[in-house]
Amino acid sequence: MSNLITASLIAVVGMLLLFAAMAVLYGMMYLMTALIKDGGGTEANEPEGELDAQSLRHRAAVIAVALARARAELSPIGWPEPEEAVRPWRQYHRNRALNMHGRARTAR
């Protein structure tokens, strides 16, 4: 019976320490957000009508880079483009790999 009491006591102390650490972490995050001011947000607060040509070009360049990066992340590297036909040797090895995995699952 003493093992059960000891295990319960360890669990309670561990949970108290966990919640105390979470409260300290939450407090630190709250203090960081309250004390640190974002100085780079002045451009985003401007109304759209007051933007000059250079800032518009800068925003267009940022958007173009973001779209190019998103497109590059979506396209897998090393795979043929959809227009290219899959070569027979590549299709053979893909089918072979798929069939080997299928056999391994059914053999158990």
pLDDT in tens, the chain (108 residues): 799 999 999 999 999 999 999 999 999 999 999 888 765 555 555 555 677 888 889 999 999 999 988 887 776 665 555 545 667 777 787 778 788 765 555 544
What is residue 68's three-state secondary structure? Answer: helix
Q: Are 94 and 82 in contact (CB under 8 A)?
A: no
What is the per-residue pLDDT for 100?
73
What is the per-residue pLDDT for 108?
45
